[in-house]
Amino acid sequence: MSHPPAPYAVVVPTVGRPCLADCLGALAASRGPAPRRIVVVDDRPGEPPPGEAPGSLPLDALGALADRAVLLRSGGRGPAAARNTGLRGVTEPWAVFLDDDVRVGPSWRTELVRDLAAASPDTGGVQGVLRVPLPARRRPTDWERNTAGLERALWATADMAYRTEALRAVGGFDERFRRAFREDADLALRVIAAGWLIRRGTRRTEHPVRPADRWVSLRAQRGNADDALMVRLHGPDWWARAAAPRGRIRRHAATTAAGVLALALAAAGRRRVAALAAAGWLLGTAEFARARIAPGPRTRDEVLTMAVTSAAVPVLATWHRLAGELRHRSAGAWQGGAA
């Protein structure tokens, strides 16, 4: 005797990017039991412009599912706070989080319901399988390779289903994570620590590489402050438990220290020693640039971008890590924002 499918809601935080229409359209076109509720959370900062109608976001892309949509605002406080805002509007047993730049597969709803039905009572979360389409006729750029890392990531909220009771038990997402970085790993580690299991499902979702300018890698270094918060909250071994890449922060710190030392020694008139320190900085920078250029398309534009940003990334990474250590030096356990 078959059981009715588990009721679920879909939560989509957005800052109003054009890709939202594709995301909602793919959800509507998918085959299978529909969500009882679709909570779209507008996380654009500030109050809505005067006269702006609720339809300013493309909810009509949901087609026949539009009457299930709920639009909430979270005031530009970041994706963690936006997801908590959406969670507060969920009464279904399962809350399924999608990013606004993904496109679920044609049978995603069927596969999702199957994933949820297969979840044991102690399973608190079931993640989807992400696919990042890359160019077929050339090597991927540095930015494309970084995005493709989502295919191997654990617990990415680009497509992640959680039992609503599990989320509320741990207080939802930690809103001190203001970027779309590490907030998913932090939540999952707390859910697991609370005694729940997290499984990998079978449903498939496409995560295209979003457009980005040549300086995107510099802005991404802000995430090093979030790594400092992760260490504070989960200890220095959180990387291994989350199967997360450790990154190059130690090498970046050494390269930055060599550069700062070279400048200080030069200012003090110690030119020979300053030259040695400068050589260390140059070697570290060259090694980093080569590691980013070698697997890429090696076009003139990509090589130039990698050369310039490779000189700046170590400094920015080190700065943001130190700033994060200072800012979060007395951070305690998250007290909850999803009641």
Tell me the DSSP string of 258-323. Answer: HHHHHHHHHHTT-HHHHHHHHHHHHHHHHHHHHHHHTTS---HHHHHHHHHHHHHHHHHHHHHHHH
pLDDT tops 80 at residue 335: yes
pTM: 0.93
Mean pLDDT of 306-329: 98
C-alpha 170/C-alpha 167 separation (Å) is 6
| C-alpha to C-alpha distances, 192 to 66, 122, 188, nearest whole angstrom | 35, 10, 6
Average pLDDT of the chain to the nearest whole number: 95
Q: Which residue has the tokens 């039991």?
A: 33
Mean pLDDT of 231-240: 96
C-alpha 38/C-alpha 211 separation (Å) is 26
The tens digit of pLDDT for each residue in 143-173 reads: 999 999 999 999 999 999 999 999 999 999 9
The letter for the amino acid at 69 is A
Mean pLDDT of 131-136: 96
Contacts of 1 (CB under 8 A, 6+ apart): none
| C-alpha to C-alpha distances, 158 to 52, 129, 223, nearest whole angstrom | 28, 10, 17
The tens digit of pLDDT for each residue in 178-227 reads: 999 999 999 999 999 999 999 999 999 999 999 999 999 999 999 999 99
C-alpha 107/C-alpha 87 separation (Å) is 25
Least confident stretch, 54-58, 100-104, 309-313: 54-58
Mean pLDDT of 66-88: 96
Portion of the chain with pLDDT greater than 70, in percent? 96
The tens digit of pLDDT for each residue in 251-289 reads: 999 999 999 999 999 999 999 999 999 999 999 999 999
Model confidence at 48, pLDDT cuts 50, 70, 90, reads low
Model confidence at 234, pLDDT cuts 50, 70, 90, reads very high
Q: What are phi and psi of 123, to 5 degrees?
A: -90, 120
Model confidence at 338, pLDDT cuts 50, 70, 90, reads low
| Secondary structure class of 243 (helix, strand, coil) | coil
pLDDT tops 50 at residue 1: no
Mean pLDDT of 70-93: 96
pLDDT value at residue 50: 54
pLDDT value at residue 336: 85
C-alpha 295/C-alpha 139 separation (Å) is 7
Q: Are 78 and 184 a contacting pair, CB within 8 Å?
A: no
Contacts of 283 (CB under 8 A, 6+ apart): none
